Amino acid sequence: MLEEQSSKAMEWTPSKVISRLGKEINDESSYLYWAYKNAIPVFCPGLTDGSLGDMLYCHAIRTSGLKIDIVQDIRAMNGEAIYAGFRRTGMIILGGGLQSIISAMPT
């Protein structure tokens, strides 16, 4: 992912990282696998919170580091709620904090 960021000017977001995990897992018992296969976005604005955020930080000490644009995912997530219209759209919201903000959006 770091190589793609520098060589292809790839802009990573939490949902793109999660999609890549689903692709690389390649395990039919994983919901991330099926989300990847069906192009269903999985949003996690707090992806950098906790141990994953610590790993990204420690990696960035030695190199330029992987850049993850959380704001781009917030726009996409809110857009899913605001512009759902008559499309068949559903959301499963786990946890609170950042993720619960989407539940306040009008549908």
Q: Are 68 and 59 in contact (CB under 8 A)?
A: no
- Lowest-confidence pick of 4-8, 24-28, 63-67, 98-102: 98-102
For the chain, the average pLDDT equals 79
Structure letter (DSSP) for residue 12: B
Q: Are 68 and 14 in contact (CB under 8 A)?
A: yes
| pLDDT tens column, 76-97 | 888 887 887 777 777 777 766 6
Q: b/e map of 75-99 (b: 16 or more CB within 10 Å)? A: eebeebbeeeeeeeeeeeeeeeebb
Tokens 């996409």, located at residue: 76
| Tokens coding 66 | 């992987």
Residue ranges covered by each domain of the chain: 2-74+83-104
Confirm whether pTM is higher than 0.85: no
